[in-house]
Amino acid sequence: MIRVDRVALRGLKARGHHGVFPREREEGQTFIVDLVLGLDTRPAAADDDLAKTVHYGIVAEEVVAVVQGEPVNLIETLAERIAQVCLKHDGVQQVEVCVHKPDAPITVPFDDVTVTIIRSRV
């Protein structure tokens, strides 16, 4: 059985220009990202060494850069790009990405739209 600990980042906010409608691409909107990174934190804890775990500050900056970067039509695509960035970090074996689009162009009252994906190295 593979042991996976979790490091979570919740509520990362960034403005992006994602969506299928011209207004979304032109005006942009706020996206919120929640991450759960799966990794073995025992080596870092044993030595109290940041180099032996994931630096979540750097991950946060990279995720925000993806949201602010090249526009895509679907938040599914955005979530996939975010997952791939997270999995490039040594030690990160799995990632759960939830992308929130609270200002989605929906004609009825709603609180939020989310897409959640789970990706792993295997």
Joined tokens for residue 6: 């979790």
Give the model's pLDDT for residue 106: 95
Domain count, the chain: 1
Contact 4, 86 (CB under 8 A): no
Four-residue CA torsion sign, 66, 68, 73, 74: positive
Instruction: Profile the chain (122 residues) by mean pLDDT over runs of 10 residues.
Output: 85 98 96 97 95 96 98 98 97 96 96 97 78
- Residue with the two structure tokens 């599914």: 76
Q: Could you give the CA distance from residue 102 to residue 104 in angstroms, rounded to a whole number?
A: 6
3-class DSSP assignment, residue 110: coil
User: What CATH number is attached to the domain comprising 80?
Assistant: 3.30.1130.10
Q: Is the pTM of this model over 0.85?
A: yes
Q: Give catalytic residue positions.
A: 101
Residue 111: give the domain boundaries: 5-120
Compute how many other C-beta atoms are within 10 angstroms of the C-beta atom of residue 94.
19
